[in-house]
Chain A
Amino acid sequence: MYKSDDIIVVDGLHKYFGHIEAVKGVDLRVRRGEVVIIVGPSGSGKSTVLRCINHLEVPTHGAVYIDGVHLEDKKTDINKVRAEVGMVFQQFNLFPHLTVLENVTIAQRMVRKRSREEAQEIAMEQLRHVGIPEKADAFPRQLSGGQQQRVAIARALAMNPKIMLFDEPTSALDPEMIKEVLDVMLLLAREGMTMVVVTHEMGFARAAADRVVFMDEGRVVEVATPTELFNNPQHERTKLFLSKILGH
């Protein structure tokens, strides 16, 4: 069913929302340490595929395996799997009633059962990692969008996940803040983190991706290295999409 070096296996994934079929049979395999970037027009099902990878959406048909564990199996402890799969959202989703430090420690303490001291130590380490240790005692609303998103990344990293998922992490940011977030993500990619990223940032895809997946209308149209996909797309729909976003 899966090879041991495929840490993520998506097998024949279909997802309906009511009568609308958002994902129409997607297969995807991600190796350990690989950075896979999913691009495509809005409504192409990219985010839905990503959200199925940590079971925030439940597939209508098909299966997802994380490190060999079948997510849709009733016996699977989904919370255990999710602790290994970090997720960063478009809207950051920091907890507004908690300080930055508490945001980064709460799941460590509750899920990883770490002591307060240990959780805080790891939290500070991750806040340094994303470059804002000085904001530990601030509340989320006191931070810029870029800073909030970096805290969200630190919050996910503090769980020591095996995989990081990014769902359009820069789409809600002002242009001048996009780079600070992408820089952190690029750093993670270089450190060997397994990443699946849904994004419209083609420059980032070029710099960070091992493979780029192009999706359209709920299907994977084309998978290739960034150089191949951007310089020599094989499908008409890929060419059309790229000409629209790289047209200048």
Chain B
Amino acid sequence: MSTTETKRGKDTANDAVREFPWWLLAVIAFLVVMAVVIVTQPDFNRAFMFIKGNPGSLEDLGRGGFWAFIGQGITITIAITLIAFALALLFGLLAGLGRINRHFVPRNIAIFYIEFVRGVPTLVLIFTVAYVLVPGLAGLLGIPTGSINSAVRAIVALAVIYGAFLAEIFRAGIESIPRGQMEAARSLGMTYGQAMRHIILPQAIRNTLPALGNDFIAMLKDSSLVSVLAVRDITQQARLYAGSTFRFNESYLVLTFLYLSMTLALSLLLRVLERRLGKNV
């Protein structure tokens, strides 16, 4: 009797050990150790201040507000990610709707775009969009190419690339809605557009939120690729710092620390968001 009880007790204890998110503990431990090192070690502190971007000292919180305190490097990384993702949502929605369109012209344009982007490496596409597509479009619109800075090129490049991935997410989301929903809406006299906008998309987008969240985090990480365009995001800052001081350990550990804290915070935030939205379904 008592043996079975202790055994059962041991099993639940084992389960608790097995189910505990040790990985999260390890990640947080890494972040905490790094934070302590950055605060206490002058070499790390200098690297940190440079990478996150000047001015970025505590006094700037009073003078220049939140973004000045956060620093230019981090601000650029976040701004590029946010703007490019918003644009990518638009491209993705348009391409996703084109992909499922009955008419062969929009469908073929959408598939061409999606397959083209999927067939070329991300880094190569960044160069191609920034140095070929953007100047080409600017030329067509009569805008002087020189006036388009590299941050804008980077944003367009990321948006074009992620638009193609988001298109497939939107398509899958729309196709996950039973056909009867569209039929019911159309049988009431709604147009295809009205039914799509008011009946299908609200349900589809709710279904795609987890996937969209994942891609947002992926884009935050891929925004580091735009450093090849000499955009001064945190990756570019780290490369500059490492190149001029030869302090590779400090530079890249700090850079890793910055990305990991941002992605971890984001993914925890998304989990909370999903749970809250999930309640209302």
A interface list, Cβ under 8 A from B: 54, 56, 79-87, 89, 91, 93-97, 106-107, 110-111, 152, 155-156, 159
What would be 6 A-B contacts, judged by CB atoms less than 8 Å apart? A86-B188, A95-B199, A95-B203, A96-B281, A110-B190, A152-B184
Indicate with 1 or 0, residue by residue over B175-188, a CB within 8 angstroms of chain A CB atoms.
00010110111111
Q: Is the CB of A110 within 8 A of B194?
A: yes
The contact size tier of chain B is 10 to 19
Cross-chain contact of A110 among B180, B181, B183, B198 (Cβ < 8 A): B198
Q: Assuming A97-B202, A110-B198, is B189 touching A91 (CB within 8 A)?
A: no
- Determine the chain A residues whose CB is within 8 A of the CB of B194 once the complex forms: 110-111
In the assembled complex, the CB of A165 is this many whole angstroms from the nearest CB of chain B, namely 8
- Determine the chain A residues whose CB is within 8 A of the CB of B187 once the complex forms: 54, 56, 82, 85-87, 156
Q: Which residue of B lies closest to A111 (CB)?
A: B189
For residue B191, CB closer than 8 A to chain A, the reply is: yes
A79, B195: Cα distance in complex, Å: 12
**Number of CB contacts from chain A to chain B under 8 A:** 63
Instruction: State the majority secondary structure of interface residues on B.
Output: helix
Cross-chain contact of B203 among A56, A87, A97, A106 (Cβ < 8 A): A97
- Determine the chain B residues whose CB is within 8 A of the CB of A80 once the complex forms: 189
A31, B203: Cα distance in complex, Å: 39
Q: Is the CB of B184 within 8 A of A111?
A: no
In the assembled complex, the CB of A70 is this many whole angstroms from the nearest CB of chain B, namely 17
Q: Is the CB of B180 within 8 A of A89?
A: yes
- Determine the chain B residues whose CB is within 8 A of the CB of A89 once the complex forms: 180, 183-184
Cross-chain contact of A82 among B186, B203, B206 (Cβ < 8 A): B186
Q: Is the CB of A107 within 8 A of B206?
A: no
In the assembled complex, the CB of B103 is this many whole angstroms from the nearest CB of chain A, namely 15
In the assembled complex, the CB of A137 is this many whole angstroms from the nearest CB of chain B, namely 14
B interface list, Cβ under 8 A from A: 178, 180-181, 183-191, 194, 198-199, 202-203, 206, 281
- Determine the chain B residues whose CB is within 8 A of the CB of A85 once the complex forms: 187
- Determine the chain A residues whose CB is within 8 A of the CB of B180 once the complex forms: 89, 91, 93
A111, B180: Cα distance in complex, Å: 19
Q: Is the CB of B188 within 8 A of A107?
A: yes
A79, B187: Cα distance in complex, Å: 8
In the assembled complex, the CB of A17 is this many whole angstroms from the nearest CB of chain B, namely 14
In the assembled complex, the CB of A150 is this many whole angstroms from the nearest CB of chain B, namely 15
- Determine the chain A residues whose CB is within 8 A of the CB of B185 once the complex forms: 95, 107
Q: Is the CB of B184 within 8 A of A95?
A: yes
Q: Is the CB of B181 within 8 A of A93?
A: yes
A27, B176: Cα distance in complex, Å: 36
A241, B140: Cα distance in complex, Å: 70
Cross-chain contact of B189 among A83, A96, A152 (Cβ < 8 A): A83
A226, B188: Cα distance in complex, Å: 30
In the assembled complex, the CB of A143 is this many whole angstroms from the nearest CB of chain B, namely 16
- Determine the chain B residues whose CB is within 8 A of the CB of A54 once the complex forms: 187
Q: Assuming A106-B198, A110-B198, is B183 touching A93 (CB within 8 A)?
A: yes
- Determine the chain B residues whose CB is within 8 A of the CB of A82 once the complex forms: 186-189
In the assembled complex, the CB of B280 is this many whole angstroms from the nearest CB of chain A, namely 9
- Determine the chain B residues whose CB is within 8 A of the CB of A95 once the complex forms: 181, 184-185, 199, 203
- Determine the chain B residues whose CB is within 8 A of the CB of A97 once the complex forms: 202-203, 206
A156, B206: Cα distance in complex, Å: 26
A97, B206: Cα distance in complex, Å: 10
In the assembled complex, the CB of B195 is this many whole angstroms from the nearest CB of chain A, namely 9
- Determine the chain A residues whose CB is within 8 A of the CB of B183 once the complex forms: 56, 87, 89, 93
In the assembled complex, the CB of B166 is this many whole angstroms from the nearest CB of chain A, namely 21
A183, B189: Cα distance in complex, Å: 26
- Determine the chain B residues whose CB is within 8 A of the CB of A111 once the complex forms: 188-190, 194
Known contacts A82-B186, A91-B178, A95-B199; 17 further A-B pairs (Cβ under 8 A): A56-B183, A56-B186, A56-B187, A79-B191, A82-B187, A82-B188, A82-B189, A86-B187, A87-B187, A91-B180, A93-B183, A96-B281, A107-B185, A107-B190, A152-B184, A159-B188, A159-B189
- Determine the chain B residues whose CB is within 8 A of the CB of A84 once the complex forms: 189
Q: Which residue of A lies closest to B180 (CB)?
A: A93
Cross-chain contact of A93 among B184, B198, B203, B206 (Cβ < 8 A): B184
- Please give me the 6 A-B residue pairs with the lowest Cβ-Cβ distance, nearest first: A83-B189, A107-B188, A93-B184, A93-B180, A87-B187, A111-B189
